[in-house]
Amino acid sequence: MTRIVKKAFKELFPEKDYNYESTIKYSKAFSAYNANVKYTSSKLMFRISHEWKDVSNEIKIGLIQSLLLKIFKEKKKTTQIDLYNIFLKNLHISAPKTNIDPVLKQSFDRVNDKYFAGMMDKTNLIWGEKSFSRLGTYEYGSDTIKISKVLEKDQNLLDYVVYHEMLHKKLKFIHTSTKTRHHTKEFRKKEKGWEDHDVEEKLKDFLRKERKRKLFWF
């Protein structure tokens, strides 16, 4: 497996010497298809989720190259990175849909019917911690929308954040040689299609009040 790291490095940086001891460890601690890398002047240590075991080496090389670009702060594009990004964009098709909270499903269905003509595919829907800063996320690997518990009190704001994450599911991302963009022009345009144009201000006001309420009780 460590030969894959050397191959990924040399294809990405043919002008550089490869003087690293490398390791790849599979972990069940990550969400599906997540990964990270730690490095020193002589070591490259990759930890990747166990779902990567059965993925082709060409796509794994794209994953490794993407991580290498982050740590070395370089901007490049390769065929393997393109394959990796195509792979990520299609993971939702085969991801099991077995974790669907009933309250979030009602929200998803409301938004789906109103803004997507009921055409959005089912996804996993779970509550996260009661976060005031990270209100929602969409995980490509597991096809999961996670929503902060702080929003369970307000149906309209909940639906808006669910809508935001559904746009991520629908539009995915754009990868260039310089960066990966999730909030594209198309994304921002569709986000403004939400019927309540004051929703962002209402959301800020709601969170401000909830923070004060938390301070009062604790």
pTM of the model: 0.82
d(CA 1, CA 160): 44
Domains of the chain: 2-89 (3.30.2010), 96-217 (3.30.2010.10)
Backbone CA torsion sign across 123, 127, 133, 139: negative
Query: Residues in the chain, how many?
Result: 218
- Say what the alpha-carbon torsion angle 140, 13, 47, 35 is, to the nearest 10 degrees: -10
In angstroms, the CA 68 to CA 47 distance is 13
Could you give the CA distance from residue 45 to residue 29 in angstroms, rounded to a whole number? 16
Would you say residue 42 has pLDDT above 90? yes
At 177 the pLDDT is 63
Q: What is the DSSP string of 24-76?
A: EEEESSSPTT-EEEEE-SSEEEEEEEGGGGGS-HHHHHHHHHHHHHHHHT---
28-40 mean pLDDT: 92
* Backbone angles phi and psi of 127, in degrees to 5: -85, 140
**Of 141, 198, 135, 142, residue with least CA distance to 161:** 135
Predicted pLDDT at 215: 72
Collapsed DSSP state (helix, strand, coil) of residue 137: strand
pLDDT tens for residues 148-192? 999 999 999 999 999 999 999 999 988 776 677 889 999 999 999
